[in-house]
Amino acid sequence: MAIHFSDLVKNSMLDALVVNLAGTDGTAGTATLRIYTGEQPATGPPTGSCGTGILLCTVENIGWAAASNGSVGMAEPTGYLGTAATDGTAGWARITNGGTDGTLYFDGPIMGSSGSEGIGLNDPVIVADAEVAVIYFGIAIP
């Protein structure tokens, strides 16, 4: 039998995660998203290994709104922008706190260009020196 949390508990856990990743909730966030090619590593954090993935783009200063109903979305509804370093197809991303590769981070797949959970880009095919938009980044606790 599974453990089920109330929305109050889910929201508290998500708000704590957001504060640890981004320093605060709201648009003043400091989290960094690094977008890579290839498959998400089978062993995620805290190993720090990026596998064979190539870093395509870094998007900085990401923030999330306050949690509601067991989920949290980006604080900027229009998204966050970065500039691509090289060409490639986005496969997965790593989120770090305050731009560092500290112990508090997680990996997630690039989901596509529409949705509300996971990480979505304007286009997963990335071209060097082009603008890359993170159009959604939702986290939920079922």
Q: What is the pLDDT of residues 29-47, one digit of tens each?
A: 888 899 999 988 877 665 6
Give φ, ψ of 84 to 5 degrees. Answer: -65, 140
Q: pLDDT tens across 8-33, in order?
A: 999 999 999 888 888 888 888 888 89
Alpha helix stretches (DSSP H) within the chain:
7-22
How is the chain split into domains, by residue range? 7-140
Please enumerate in sequence order all residues whose Cβ is within 8 A of that of 91, keeping only pairs 6 or more positions apart, or say none: 36, 37, 38, 39, 40, 53, 109, 110
pTM: 0.87
110 within 8 A of 92, measured Cβ to Cβ: yes
